[in-house]
C-alpha cells in the first residue's frame, strides 16, 4: 500500500497522526493534499459508525485506501456523555473555557471525577469493507484547566497514573499514551504485517 488517505480537516489531528506515521515510512495524504473540503454528515450513534462514514466517503471519493477516526470524551459526572457529541457539546458553549467550567462544576457537585477518551479508527480498502481499531485512555477530570499543548478537552483530562493534564504533556509524551495513538498503532501494526 503506497498511499493512505487520512480523512480529516482537523490540522491538530493531522500533525499528531503524521508524527506517529513518520516512524513507519508510510506516505500519508490528508484532505488538504487532495484539495477535498466536503465531508459527510457524522450521524452515527457510536464512534465506530462515525469513523466508518468518513473512511467510506474518502475511499469512494478518491479510490485511495482511507482511514478516519472519531474520538471523544466520556465523563462520569455527565452520565458518560458527551461521547460522540463531544465536538458539538464544546461548540454549544460561548467559549471552550465556559465549557470546561461547566464540566468541572458538575464533577465537583456530583463528586464523580472519572472520565475516558475513546478513539475508533475505520480503515476502508475496498467498497464497504472496513476494519475497526479502538483506543481508550482512562483518567479523571482536573479541578482546573491546565496546559498549553494538545487540543479539545486535553486541558481538563488527567490520564490515570499521571498528575498532569494531557495539555501539560508534550506531543511526544501524549503520543506515547493517548487513545488516538493506541488506535493508530493498532492500524499501523495491521498495515506493516
How many domains does the chain contain in total? 1
Tell me 25's DSSP state: T
Is 80 exceeded by the pLDDT of residue 30?
yes
Residue 103 CA to residue 82 CA, distance in Å, equals 11
CB 43 within 8 A of CB 52: no
Average pLDDT, the chain: 92
Confidence (pLDDT) at 23? 73
Confidence (pLDDT) at 175? 84
Is 70 exceeded by the pLDDT of residue 21?
yes
Residue 126 CA to residue 134 CA, distance in Å, equals 20
What CATH number is given to the structural domain containing 20? 3.90.950.10
Q: What's the domain range around 8?
A: 3-192
Which active-site residues does the annotation give?
70
Tell me 154's DSSP state: G
Confidence (pLDDT) at 13? 84
pTM above 0.85?
Answer: yes
Amino acid at each position: 500500500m503506497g498511499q493512505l488517505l487520512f480523512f480529516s480537516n482537523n490540522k491538530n489531528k493531522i500533525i499528531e497522526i503524521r508524527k506517529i506515521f513518520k516512524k513507519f515510512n508510510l506516505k500519508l495524504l490528508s484532505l488538504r493534499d487532495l484539495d477535498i473540503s466536503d465531508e459527510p454528515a457524522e450521524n452515527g450513534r457510536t464512534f465506530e459508525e462515525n469513523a466508518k462514514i468518513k473512511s467510506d466517503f474518502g475511499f469512494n471519493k478518491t479510490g485511495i485506501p482511507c482511514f478516519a477516526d472519531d474520538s471523544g470524551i466520556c465523563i462520569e459526572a455527565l452520565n458518560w456523555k458527551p461521547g460522540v457529541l463531544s465536538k458539538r457539546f464544546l461548540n454549544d458553549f460561548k467559549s471552550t473555557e465556559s465549557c470546561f467550567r461547566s464540566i468541572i462544576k458538575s464533577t465537583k457537585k456530583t463528586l464523580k471525577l472519572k472520565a475516558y477518551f475513546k478513539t475508533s479508527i475505520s480503515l476502508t480498502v475496498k467498497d464497504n469493507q472496513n476494519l475497526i481499531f479502538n483506543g481508550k485512555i482512562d483518567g479523571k477530570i482536573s479541578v482546573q484547566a491546565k496546559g498549553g499543548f494538545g487540543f479539545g478537552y486535553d486541558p481538563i483530562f488527567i490520564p490515570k497514573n499521571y498528575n498532569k493534564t494531557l495539555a501539560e504533556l508534550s506531543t511526544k509524551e501524549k503520543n506515547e499514551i493517548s487513545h488516538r495513538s493506541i488506535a493508530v498503532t493498532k492500524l499501523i501494526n495491521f498495515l506493516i504485517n
